[in-house]
Chains A and B, each alone.
Chain A
Amino acid sequence: MKGIVIKYSDENINTDLIIPARYLNKSEPEYLAEHCFEDFDYKFKEKREKLNATILIAGKNFGSGSSREHAPIAIKASGIDCVIAPTFARIFFRNSINIGLTLIEFDGIENLKDGDVLEIDFDTGSLKNISINQIFEIKKIPKFLQDIIASEGLVNYAKNLLRE
């Protein structure tokens, strides 16, 4: 996976900041993407487009708060394929795996900044910051979760189970 970075160093960015509850009366991805991060940084959309970013970097405990799947859906629909943070809140973590938004736990986010180009190799567990030509180690994804990701999300994984 290769992409450009948009970064917020803030810790504890919660699901209310990712998608405020007032927009939960609908669940269409495009609608949610329109309001993604609205109360946190209303310029998010403009900024992401300007950078052409597909990789979001954030501080620890990203996605804390409610179980709303609207949060990873909003992020994914706004053009982000992958989120990198030191830690994730657990429901956000499973929701993202389940809908096929890639998450990477990585302690060294201070080595990444807006506009950096990254190349990630999941097999070897390495993250290369091409812009500064440095390679970092990332946590490997456990086999069980890799299987879900390989099925392109939990729904397909479950389909196979149901047909067994």
Chain B
Amino acid sequence: MPSTITEKILAAHCDKKEVSPGDFILANLDGCLGNDITAPIAIKEFYKVIHGTKKGVFDRDKIILLPDHFTPNKDVASAIQCQVLKEFSKKYQLTHYYEVGRCGIEHCFIPEQGLIVPGDLFIGADSHTCTYGAIGAFSTGVGSTDLGVSMALGKTWLKVPETIKFVYSGKLKNWVLGKDLILYTIGQIGVDGATYKAMEFTGVVIKNISMASRFTICNMAIEAGGKNGIIESDEKTIEYIEKRTSRPLKVYKSDKNAEFSEIIEFDCDKIEPQVAFPHLPENSKPISEAEGMEISIDQAVIGSCTNGRLEDLRIAAKVLKNQKVNSHVRCIIIPGTPQIFLNALKEGLIEIFLNAGGIVSPPTCGPCLGGHMGILGAGEKAISTTNRNFMGRMGHVESEVYLSNPAIAAASAIEGNICSPESVLKN
């Protein structure tokens, strides 16, 4: 039967030869992930599952625990959550437990370290686990009970999703990145446009963009309600992953006559950089329109699992070089991992940020979820390269978050108003 990438990976991980949308399967996992928010509950559930048996974790090499949300520990309560992770990792001698200083934002860190490879089936107790579809793996976000059970069984239940195929053709305009493509897409189909479905991203534009942009696109599949985002592995994927792992890779492609629930095509010649207005990622508008509205901002955040990779920092630095952040704006830059931080340092990006009057934070989720390190006050507005602009997401319920790519966030930090990098660079 002709199948999609998603269907092929799911079939390869269960006791069936092939699967169809709607089937329920018990799938074998290549890896699973928990963080300082979700793992403590998962660990409790894990103990309930193994209670009364002599069993432990299913595989100490396949469980990844990363404290990245409220770390470096924000307060006593978050410190206690992190202790739970550490104790558990010690007890079961988990290979992949990483302390502050060695870990980064999970969805930047895991692919960077080669902890997931093309063809893998992976779950994470974090909604943006869908990020890894960018390397041709099936990965999806689940809850804590799912993770707890998975740590014991090495399996998880899944409903085989239908796939929507997105085809991006044409040529990208200046300053258009993966972030703009996905914000535009969500603007077109809505925050529930892909609920329960796989989103397969294809087309010449996807072939041509960087791995960083591909991660950004798959990262936000969940913002359209998608179960997973996925991009067929190609030479770029292989080049990215080969040097990071010794595990064998498995490259899957969708069959020509595979069944898609829908095929949606976009002509990229027409897509401008996007800004998603409060309070939903689907409220995206082209930058030309947003700029005309003269929206003043109090904070710019450049980072997160969506746009905290080296390429994102390079783009921000290109805009911020020899410029000054507006005197009434806080510009917070967050390298996604220690490795990215170090590379940014070597390349002189950190110096550019500091000279411009920005500040660089250690790798953390921090402000992205209104956790710490950059909370908004009542009525404040932020432009942010993160993925969610829900009400109160970054602080006070009356604050507002506008989502954009790193170039626009950096330009807006300089201007003090939401604007295009072109407006800044021509001055």
Question: Interface residues, chain A, CB within 8 Å of chain B?
Answer: 12, 14, 16-17, 20-22, 24-27, 39, 60-61, 64-70, 72-73, 87, 89-91, 94-95, 98-99, 142, 144-145, 148, 153-155, 158-159, 161-163
Q: A17-B390, A21-B369, A61-B225 are in contact. Are A94 and B142 (CB under 8 A)?
A: yes
Chain A residues with Cβ below 8 Å from B126 are 66-67
Decide yes or no whether B376 CB sits under 8 A from chain A.
Answer: no
* Residue pair A162, B157 in contact (C-beta under 8 Å): no
* Among B53, B77, B280, residue most surrounded by chain A Cβ atoms (within 10 Å): B77
Please pick, from B24, B49, B144, B191, the residue contacting A159 in the complex, using a CB distance under 8 A.
Answer: B49
Known contacts A39-B391, A87-B195, A91-B127: A158-B152 contact under CB 8 Å? yes
Residues of A with C-beta under 8 A to B40: 27
Q: In the complex the two chains form, what is the Cα distance from A154 to B125 in whole Å?
A: 15
- Give chain A residues whose Cβ lies under 8 Å from the Cβ of B227: 90
Identify which of A21, A27, A67, A72 contacts B142 (C-beta below 8 A). A67
- Name which residue of chain A comes closest to B78, CB basis: A25
Shortest Cβ distance from residue A144 to the other chain B in the assembled complex, whole angstroms:
4
CA gap between A145 and B149 in the complex, in Å: 15
Complex contact A61–B191 (CB within 8 A) = yes
Contact B192 A158 (CB under 8 A): no
Q: Which of B45, B81, B149, B152 contacts A25 (CB 8 A)?
A: B81
- When distances are taken between beta carbons in the complex, the residues of chain A under 8 Å from B124 are 67
Say yes or no: B157 contacts A39, CB within 8 Å. no
A-B contact count (CB 8 A): 132
B26 (CB) vs chain A CBs: closest residue: A161
Q: Are A144 and B141 in contact (CB under 8 A)?
A: no
How many angstroms between the C-alpha atoms of A146 and B180 in the bound complex? 41
Chain B 68-83 against A: per-residue CB contact (8 Å), 1 yes, 0 no?
Answer: 0110001101100100
Cβ of A158 and Cβ of B225 under 8 Å apart? no
* Complex CA–CA separation, A24 to B368 (angstroms): 14
Query: Complex Cα distance A152/B176, Å?
Result: 49
Q: A64-B225, A69-B144, A91-B142 known; A16 and B390 CB under 8 Å?
A: yes
Asked if B286 is at the interface of the complex by the 8 Å CB criterion, the answer is: no
Known: A144-B24, A155-B48. A98 touches B146 (CB 8 A): yes
B338 contacts the other chain (Cβ, under 8 Å)?
no
Is residue B337 within 8 Å, beta carbon to beta carbon, of the partner chain? Answer: no
